[in-house]
């Protein structure tokens, strides 16, 4: 999880307020530019 904290990833996955998106979504395709973490994008629709 290059650049991502495991706790932050779990908070994001569980839609918790302390996650990178503030609990607004459960999508695991997120990025955190401040930490240098750029997540993957979905390959669907290509």
Question: Domain segments of the chain: what residues?
Answer: 1-46
Please count the other Cβ atoms lying within 10 Å of the Cβ belonging to residue 14.
11
pLDDT of residue 10: 86
**In this structure, what DSSP letter does residue 44 have?**
T
Residue 43 has pLDDT above 70, yes or no: no
Q: What span, in angstroms and rounded, lies between the C-alpha atoms of 36 and 43?
A: 21
Each residue's pLDDT tens digit, 11-29? 888 888 887 778 787 676 7
pLDDT of residue 45: 62
Q: What span, in angstroms and rounded, lies between the C-alpha atoms of 45 and 38?
A: 20
Percent of the chain with pLDDT over 70: 70
pTM (predicted TM-score): 0.57
pLDDT of residue 44: 67
With tokens 């607004």, the residue in question is 24
Q: Note whether 2 and 34 are within 8 A (CB).
A: no
């Amino acid at each position: 999880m290059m650049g991502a904290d495991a706790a932050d990833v779990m908070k994001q996955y569980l839609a918790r307020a302390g996650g990178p998106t503030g609990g607004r979504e459960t999508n695991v395709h997120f990025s955190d530019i401040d930490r240098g973490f750029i997540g993957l994008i979905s390959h669907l629709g290509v």
